[in-house]
Structure 1
Amino acid sequence: MTATTPTTTPTTTRAVVEKLLHRIGEGDPERIAELYADDADWKLDWPEAEHGRAATPWIRHRTTRTDAAAHYRELAEHHIPEAAATQIERILVDGPDAVVLGEIRQTARATGRAYRARFALHLTVDNGLITRHHVYEDSLAVTQAFAPAAHNTNH
């Protein structure tokens, strides 16, 4: 019987996730995208009708490394970088899978409204690259921050 070597160990997974979080903090979309596989399973837990709206174009499913770079560019274009912060509370690793738990704080460029959104990010790493990026976040907080003043219910 021949032993098989896993393509990704928990140590490798954690290192890639930590590198991703560091690069996101640096804000260079091209360098962030280098950590994604050419084809990745990228999904957001948002109502499908809300995907890709003009106010929030970064909110949509993605499939390629190029899409990953576009996501981070669009996210930056629609927020005020000086008013952004992310608090990472936990990184849980199980083989090639990792879950990052935390809270983002952003300010919508279009409205000037700040928001906080709790999130869980499920990543899968294979051969040192991210092949799954599933985000679960407080979509209501984001939607309210970008809503026109007359429709904003966050008083």
Structure 2
Amino acid sequence: MSSAPSPTTTRAVVENLLRRIGEGDPERIAELYAERGDWKLDWPEAEHGRAATPWIRHRSSRADAVAHYRELAEHHVPGRAATEIERILVDGDDAVVLGEIRQTARSTGRAYRARFALHLTVEHSLIVRHHVYEDSLAVAQAFDTGEVPEGE
């Protein structure tokens, strides 16, 4: 007998994820991810170089989740960040988190704000899908050092 998805469990996992992200411990955050998962970020790779933003890439494992949160922290100024969660929508195993992040790029000192939507899927109380849709232009501009890449 299979059980139906539990919106309560999905919401609890998502709220726990957001709390742990706020606490900033990459290993504790990653404990909420399945060993293998589908992690994608909506980012126009052809338009923006990734050297300044190495955390923005596709991932597929719990170890990748740890690396993501470490890299994200390494490239931003500690204590100069905030996230406003506007809404969490839950439909069975799926949840969408809507909000805005405010960060400061460590390499340039530029602050930025970026609206985002985070689509998560929870199975067996672990996150198996993590898709982020964010204002990539705001992030890219904050990290733009004004250098022209070779060959352009």
Q: TM-score range by the shorter chain?
A: over 0.9
Distance 2:46 2:147 in 1: 20
SS of corresponding position for 2:14:
helix
TM-score by length of 1: 0.91
Tell me which residue corresponds to 1:4. Answer: 2
Asked if 1 retains the 8 angstrom alpha-carbon contact of 2:48 and 2:140, the reply is: no
SS of corresponding position for 2:12:
helix
Tell me which residue corresponds to 2:104. Answer: 107
Between Structure 1 and Structure 2, which shows a larger proportion of helix residues? 1
TM-score by length of 2: 0.93
Tell me which residue corresponds to 1:16. Answer: 13
Could you tell me how far 1:52 is from its partner in structure 2?
7.6
Q: Deviations over 1:40-77 (max 9, x none)?
A: 10001111336882200000000000000000000000
Q: Deviations over 1:60-95 (max 9, x none)?
A: 000000000000000000001210000000000000
Distance 1:39 1:120 in 2: 22
Once the two structures are aligned, what percentage of the paired residues are identical? 79
> RMSD value over aligned CA atoms?
1.6
Q: State the one-letter code of the partner of 2:43.
A: W
Which ranges in structure 1 are unaligned for 5 or more consecutive residues? none
Q: After the TM superposition, which parts of structure 1 deviate over 6 Å for at least 4 consecutive aligned residues?
A: none
Q: Does 1:46 align with 2:43?
A: yes
